[in-house]
Amino acid sequence: MAQQRETVRRTPLSRKRVLSAAVVLADESGVESLSMRKLAQELGVVPMALYKHVANKEELLDGMVDVIVGEIDTGASGEGWKSAVRQRVLAARQILLRHPWARRVIESRTNKSPVVLEYMDSMIGMFQAGGFSVDLTHHVMHAMGSRMWGFTQEVFDDSANATAEISPTMLHAMAEKYPHVMEIAMRADHDDDSVVGQGCDDQFEFEFALDLLLDGFERLHEQGWTSTGRR
Amino acid sequence: MAQQRETVRRTPLSRKRVLSAAVVLADESGVESLSMRKLAQELGVVPMALYKHVANKEELLDGMVDVIVGEIDTGASGEGWKSAVRQRVLAARQILLRHPWARRVIESRTNKSPVVLEYMDSMIGMFQAGGFSVDLTHHVMHAMGSRMWGFTQEVFDDSANATAEISPTMLHAMAEKYPHVMEIAMRADHDDDSVVGQGCDDQFEFEFALDLLLDGFERLHEQGWTSTGRR
DNA sequence: AAAGGTAGGTGTACGGCGTACACTTGTCAA
DNA sequence: TTGACAAGTGTACGCCGTACACCTACCTTT
C-alpha cells in the first residue's frame, strides 16, 4: 500500500508508444494541431516526459514517418518491373490514404531515415532488376517524385470540391472569369445531377498519372535510353 | 514642429507593402521563420498594425502566393499546345526557383485565390486550344500536379546532397545497407572527382520529367483518348 | 544489506508565437 | 466645427517548444 502509492502503475512510456500515440492523434485531428503538450496529455504524462524518448518535435515527426512507411506492404510480386512498381506504389497509396497528414510531413523531412532510405532503395532495385541503366533509373526516380509514396498531387482538385457550397450567383460569376476551370469542375462528376459533384475519382486520377509515367519509362527503356547530349 | 513630432513621417503601410516585405523576408530567411512580429518589425510598425491590411497569417500567406504567381510570365508563344505549355511551366519554374519557400506554401493553401485560378484556367485553356477533350484535359491536369508550377519533386535528391559530409566509414556502411541508393548517389555527378558531387542537375531532371509527361499527353491525344471503361 | 549509478518522470520557467480588444491619432467630408 | 472613419498602438491571453534542475524507483556491484 505504501509501496504502490494511490495510482495504478502506468505502463511505462517507450519510443514506440509515443510514436504510435502521435500517429493516432494526427489521424484524428490533423498534424497541424499535434503538439507535444497534447500528446503528453493523451499519454497521461507531463510534456517533458516525452523528451526522454524523442529528442524534439522534429524527431517525433521523423519517427511518425517511419511508423507509416514501415506499414507499407513490401512483399514482392515478381512478374516484371512494371507491375512490381505499380503494385508497390498502390500499396503505399493504400497506407498513405489512411494518414492524410503523412504527405506533408514526409515531404517536409530533409534527412531521410533508414526506413525511408530502405523503401527508396528497394524501389530503385525494382528498376535495376528490370534492366534499367543506373542513369535512367536515376531520372526515372526523379520523375516519379512524390508519386512514389502514392501521394495524389492535390494542387488541382480542391477547386472542384469548393464549388459545392457556393451560391449560384457566385458560380455564374466564376464561370465567366474562369471558364476552363469551371468546365472541368462541372464535368468532374457528370453522372451526378447536382450542379457540381463531390469532386473526381482520386484513385482513377492517380492510376492515370502513374500509368502514364510507367508507360513512358517503359518506352524509354525499350529504346535503350542514354542521356542524349546532356552532360 | 509640434505638428510633425520628432520622427519623419513614415510612408504608410498598404496590403501591397506588407505582402512584398513578407516575400522578401521569406526569401531571406525562410518561410518557417516568418512571423507577424518579425514582419512588423521589418516594417517599423507594431505587430497589430498588420491586421489592418491582412485578416490573419493565413491570408498573409495567400497574398504572398498571389505575389509570386503574379510574377509568372504569362505571355503566349502560339506554336502548338506542347511548346506553349512547356514554355509556361519553365517560366513558372524560373520564378519559383527564386522563392524556394513558395512550393510548400502553394501546396498548403486549400482555397485557391483568383490569381491562382486564373493561372490554372489559362493552362487548361492551352490544352483545350490544342484540341484536348474536356475529360482528357482534366486527367492531364491531375497528372501534371504540382509540376504545373515548375516544382521539382524534392523527395529524392537530398540524400545525394547529404552524403557529401559523411565520413568514409559511414559511407561504406550505407553502401552495404542501401546499395541502389548509393550507386545512384555516386553516379549523380560522375564528372566530378570528389567522392560524391553536390547532387544532380535539377533543371535536367525537371525537364526530363516534364517532357515525359508532355509526350505521354501527346500520345494519348493523338490516339483519341476516351476514358476507357472507367466511369 | 549498503551504496551508488541510471533511466524515466516531474515542475518550473522562458521566450516566441498569433491575435482579441480597447485605445489613440491623423485626415477629410459635411 | 464636428464627427466619422481609417490607420496605428498597447496590453494581454493562451498557446507553443523546450532548457534545466529535481526527484524517485530500480539495478548492479560489493
* Domain match, B117 and B205 both: yes
pLDDT attached to residue A141: 96
**Residue A214 is assigned to a structural domain of this protein:** yes
C1' of C18 to CA of B58 (Å): 11
Whether any strand C atom is under 7 angstroms from the Cβ of B47: the reply reads yes
The mean pLDDT value of chain B amounts to 87
pLDDT band at B166, cuts 50/70/90? low
Q: How far apart are CA B153 and CA B147, in angstroms?
A: 8
Domain identity same for B114 and B164? no
Q: What does the DSSP 8-state code read for residue A56?
A: S
**A187: chain B residues, CB-CB within 8 Å:** 134-135, 138
pLDDT at A161: 53
Domain membership of residue B215 (yes or no) is yes
What is the per-residue pLDDT across B172-213, written as a single tens digit (0 to 9) for each?
Answer: 899 999 999 999 888 765 554 444 445 688 999 999 999 999
Which of A141, A199, A106, A149 lies closest to B142 in space, CA to CA? A199
CATH of the domain at A30: 1.10.10.60
pLDDT in tens, A163-221: 556 678 878 899 999 999 999 888 765 554 444 445 688 999 999 999 999 999 999 99
C-alpha grid cell, residue A120 = 527508396
pLDDT of residue B165: 61
B166 and B215 share one domain: no
State which residues form the domain around A223: 75-146+203-231
CB A37 under 7 Å to nucleic chain D:
yes
pLDDT digits 0-9 by tens, A141-157: 999 999 999 998 776 65
CA of A46 to C1' of C11 (A): 9
Same domain for B128 and B81? yes
Phi-psi region of A75 (alpha: psi -120 to 50; beta: other; left: phi over 0): beta
Pick the residue with more confidence: A174 or B34? B34
Measured between beta carbons, the chain A residues lying within 8 angstroms of B170 are: none
Shared domain for A100 and A24, answered yes or no, is no
- Residue A97, in any domain of the structure: yes
pLDDT at A152: 82
A33-82 tens-digit pLDDT: 999 999 999 999 999 999 999 999 999 999 999 999 999 998 877 789 99
pLDDT category of residue A159 using cuts at 50, 70 and 90: low
CATH number at residue B91: 1.10.357.10
Q: What is the pLDDT of residue B43?
A: 97
The verdict on B175 and B97 lying in the same domain is no
| Confidence (pLDDT) at B15 | 97
Tell me A4's DSSP state: S
Do the beta carbons of residue A97 and residue A152 sit within 8 Å? Answer: no
| pLDDT classification of A7: cutoffs 50, 70, 90 | very low
Whether B184 and A141 lie within 8 Å, measured CB to CB: yes
pLDDT at A227 over 80: no
Contacts of B23 (CB under 8 A, 6+ apart): B64, B67, B68, B99
Using DSSP, state whether B23 is helix, strand or coil.
helix
Do B74 and B168 lie in a common domain?
A: no
Residue B178 lies in a domain: yes
Q: Which nucleotides in chain D lie closer than 7 A to a protein CB?
A: 6-11, 15-21, 25-26
- Do B84 and B167 sit in the same domain of this protein? no
pLDDT for B3 beyond 60: no
pLDDT of A167 reads: 74
| A230 has pLDDT over 50 | no
Q: How far apart are CA B149 and CA A68, in angstroms?
A: 28
Domain membership flag for residue B21: no
Cβ of residue A36 lies below 7 Å from strand D: yes
Q: What would the pLDDT profile of A103-141 be if each residue is shown by its tens digit?
A: 999 999 988 999 999 999 999 999 999 999 999 999 999
From B3, B10, B35, B7, select the one nearest B21 (Cα to Cα): B35
Is B118 close to A153, i.e. CB distance below 8 A?
no
**Could you tell me how many residues make up chain A?**
231
Q: Which residue of B has its CA nearest to A192?
A: B231
Check pLDDT > 60 for residue B231.
no
Question: What's the total number of domains in chain A?
Answer: 3
pLDDT value of residue B127: 97
Q: What pLDDT, on a 0 to 100 scale, did the predictor assign at position A222?
A: 95
* Mean pLDDT along residues B20-33: 97
Q: Do A201 and B231 count as a contact with CB atoms less than 8 A apart?
A: yes
Does B214 fall in a domain? yes
Lowest mean pLDDT across A13-17, B132-136, B196-200 = B196-200
The residue among B20, B111, B128 whose CA lies nearest residue B70 is B20
- Summarised one tens digit per residue, pLDDT across range B38-75 is 999 999 999 999 999 999 999 999 999 999 999 999 88
B148 and B69, same structural domain?
yes
Chain A partners within 8 Å of B180 (Cβ): 121-122, 124-125, 128, 137
